[in-house]
Amino acid sequence: MCAAGAGCHQAGPQANRLIAEKSPYLQQHAHNPVDWYPWGAEAFEKARREDKAIFLSIGYSTCHWCHVMEAESFSNPEIAAFMNQHFVSIKVDREERPDLDRQYMNYVIGVSEGGWPMSLVLMPDLRPFFGANYLPPDDRDGQVGFRTLLQRIATLWETRRSDALRAAADGTQALEARSALTRGAATAPDEAELDRTFEDLSASFDASAGGFGGAPKFPRPVVLNFLMRYYARTGSARALDMALETLRAMARGGIRDHLGGGFHRYAVDREWRLPHFEKMVYDQAQLAAALVDAYQASGDALFADLARETLDYVLRDMRDPEGGFYSAEGAAVLSERHSVEETAGRFGVSGRDVRARLAAARQILFHARGSRPRPARDDKVLVAWNGLMLSALAKASVVLDGPTYRDAAVAAARFLERRLYDPATETLVRRYRAGDAAVAALLEDYAFLIQGLLDLSETSFDPRWLAWALRLQAQQDRWFWDDREGGYFSTRADAADLLTRVKEEYDGAGPSANSVSTMNLLRLWQLTGQQRWRDRADATFRALSPRVARSGLALPQLLAALEFSRSHTTQIVIAGDRDAPDTRALLKVVHDRFIPNRILVLVEEGRQQELVAAQVPFVSGMGRRSGRATIYICENSVCRLPTADPAVAARLLDGARGHNQRSARL
């Protein structure tokens, strides 16, 4: 494996153009003998001027097979010389440009198998006419090698150009067909979709090993979020058990880093034992948030401990000194798995003794591991993934009573505002690394950051974060909204280097930006009372309704938003000094309970209340009673009698939760 940093390459006589790029993945190829170009006008113009096809390679820094192909083919002087003679070669970091990755993956899965590194050949106008994933350098076990394919494609280009043009036309037509937008439905999905999706998940649940389906197994926290919300709505013990047992199975398995904390990207086996070792910050963020919810819903301290372990790993190993969070790191672990009981029997000691010795051994091994070279770390900061970390840290800071997490969330938000936001144009930039901010922000950058800011505003109670979320939502609507069908495009209309413009409609390893945006709009509507936010959420539901009808399992995060929109939302306002003991006692009552369908606002007398009321008008008349912190519990803007008594507040909130569950059963 590579040592820390971006230098995961074999040194050549001189660097190519990628040496000037900030992406760690691109820099890993900066000393290849291949004359690599970054994606951009210089490469496109060279291809047109020299009448050459473009070889496009898309990957990411922690991708195992990307490193293999780099070592086998891109570091091979003979293969590189042929590439330099016959092609203009371009490297793309899929994490910087997921829009390009998604576009060309739609083509590749139509002609080959999806995966990374993605290998394509394009016309100079960027239309693809060949696509594959990893290729061995030479013919092997019946598979045509990279060298052979390059030679065949060069011959095709030089002697049968009309065939290449025809393949590009066919490929582009197929790409447009696969990317074509489904016309929205006249109505949003109905609540029966929630029950159907729950039944589908129940049928695919692996009762013995946790998770859903067979190998490989991904964490897919969006499914866990849906199940826990479904439990809160219906009281279904089955829904909660499936979510909790999946988290427990992952905690027991090799997908968890038992020494340093955090979770690997996926398991290659059914029992979660054998991980694919890279760690992605978006997985840590989503799983930490799911673990916090699991702790609230179950009261099982295991989930609180796992959430802390995961977040502490991120703060220790994946945090930029300025406050942002890095993208990923690779890893490799060699271990054998034995149960506590097997180990106790083997050595003639008690299970309790084994557990105590394991705890001590983990610390010894962790410190020993720290003396070795670190795995390669991708230290670019992406707005979207940092938005997910904001949400996780904000939730953990109040549920786990962790001021360190709150401070980290605030620092990250300030970093993003300072380094990746232009207040003059109110627009975001997607990527930051080594002092450089670049790449136009995509829909997911806006959506995930807005979600993070809404979560931060409900925990820090600083009105500046809600104000920023509102400004960003206005810009998101300006750049990405589909006026005809509703919902949001993934890219801006002025993205000139794309062949198609698509809407994301799948909640996979992470939530789709449309699903997150729909929930953001509903939360903004509940906070501000502005009907336009609700109207846009409803239009997005209608736009994605045909996809939900085909398979609710494709969009569990959107269905979580649907559940929110169809339930009684509890609006909670606490009037009091945020640091006063009586205020904190009321906040604890709220945070001790799993109430996913609620908004929480704190108002303090004076300027802070004026600022909050300007954004959340319904809090205008709410204040402390008899000099004591007071809680107001409302549903659909109809409030119960305010109280300063935490015990009374607890009964009122428990009654509201029971009402939601009873309403869902009717």
Q: Where are the domains of the chain?
A: 17-179, 212-332+375-566, 570-665
Mean pLDDT confidence for 552-579: 96
Q: What is the pLDDT of residue 662?
A: 39
Q: What is the pLDDT of residue 361?
A: 65
Q: What angle do CA 248, 250, 252 make, to 5 degrees?
A: 70
What is the rounded distance in angstroms from the CA atom of residue 506 to the CA atom of residue 489? Answer: 13
Strand ranges in 282-331 using DSSP code E only, listed in sequence order: 326-329
What is the rounded distance in angstroms from the CA atom of residue 384 to the CA atom of residue 447? Answer: 8
Q: What is the pLDDT of residue 605?
A: 87
- pLDDT band of 339, cuts 50, 70, 90: low
Residue 533 corresponds to which tokens in the numbers above? Answer: 């936010």
| Best CA proximity match to 98, nearest among 125, 150, 133, 59 | 59
| pLDDT tens per residue across span 214-225 | 999 999 999 999
| Mean per-residue pLDDT over the chain, rounded | 92
Beta bridge partners of 633: 572
Locate all alpha helices (DSSP H) within 95-236, ordered by sequence.
98-111, 146-159, 161-179, 192-204, 221-234
The answer to whether the beta carbons of residues 265 and 281 sit under 8 Å apart is no
Q: Which CATH architecture has domain 17-179?
A: 3-Layer(aba) Sandwich (3.40)
Is 340 a residue whose pLDDT tops 80?
Answer: no
Mean pLDDT confidence for 387-398: 98
Chain position carrying tokens 């589908």: 200
- pLDDT band of 621, cuts 50, 70, 90: confident
Locate all alpha helices (DSSP H) within 348-428, ordered by sequence.
351-370, 383-399, 403-419
| pLDDT tens per residue across span 154-203 | 999 999 999 999 999 999 998 888 777 667 777 889 999 999 999 999 99
The answer to whether the beta carbons of residues 42 and 78 sit under 8 Å apart is no
CA distances from 175 to 96, 108, 114, 179 (A): 22, 9, 14, 6
Chain position carrying tokens 């670190």: 374
CA distances from 164 to 172, 205, 304 (A): 12, 46, 57
- pLDDT band of 2, cuts 50, 70, 90: very low
Q: What is the pLDDT of residue 330?
A: 81
Helices 98-111 + 161-179 axis angle, to 10 = 110
What is the rounded distance in angstroms from the CA atom of residue 311 to the CA atom of residue 544? Answer: 33
Residue 90: helix, strand or coil by DSSP?
strand
Which residue type does 363 have?
Q
| Best CA proximity match to 282, nearest among 410, 452, 414 | 452
- pLDDT band of 636, cuts 50, 70, 90: confident
What is the rounded distance in angstroms from the CA atom of residue 396 to the CA atom of residue 592? Answer: 12
Mean pLDDT confidence for 417-432: 96
| pLDDT tens per residue across span 29-47 | 999 999 999 999 999 999 9
Q: What is the radius of gyration, based on Cα positions, of the chain?
A: 26
Which residue type does 138 have?
D
Cis before 77 (ω within 30): no
What is the rounded distance in angstroms from the CA atom of residue 454 to the CA atom of residue 492? Answer: 23
Q: What pTM, to 2 d.p., does this model score?
A: 0.91
Percentage of the chain surpassing pLDDT 70? 89
CATH of domain 570-665: 3.40.30.10
Mean pLDDT confidence for 429-457: 98
Residue 431: helix, strand or coil by DSSP?
strand
What is the rounded distance in angstroms from the CA atom of residue 574 to the CA atom of residue 564? Answer: 22
What's the burial of 442, exposed, middle or buried (CB within 10 Å: 0-12/13-18/19+)? buried
Sign of the CA dihedral with 225 first, then 226, 229, and 231 last: negative
Chain position carrying tokens 């139509």: 110
Is 334 a residue whose pLDDT tops 70?
Answer: no
- pLDDT band of 5, cuts 50, 70, 90: very low
What is the rounded distance in angstroms from the CA atom of residue 220 to the CA atom of residue 272? Answer: 13
Q: What angle do CA 197, 203, 205 make, to 5 degrees?
A: 100
What is the rounded distance in angstroms from the CA atom of residue 364 to the CA atom of residue 237? Answer: 40
Range from 112-126, 194-208, 345-359 carrying the lowest mean pLDDT: 345-359
Mention the CATH class of domain 212-332+375-566.
mainly alpha
Beta bridge partners of 319: 325
What is the rounded distance in angstroms from the CA atom of residue 22 to the CA atom of residue 99? Answer: 18
Mean pLDDT confidence for 417-433: 96
Mean pLDDT confidence for 544-562: 96
CA distances from 153 to 82, 87, 295, 505 (A): 12, 10, 56, 34
Same fold, 17-179 and 570-665: yes
Q: What is the pLDDT of residue 12?
A: 46
| pLDDT tens per residue across span 277-333 | 899 999 999 999 999 999 999 999 999 999 999 999 999 999 999 999 999 998 554
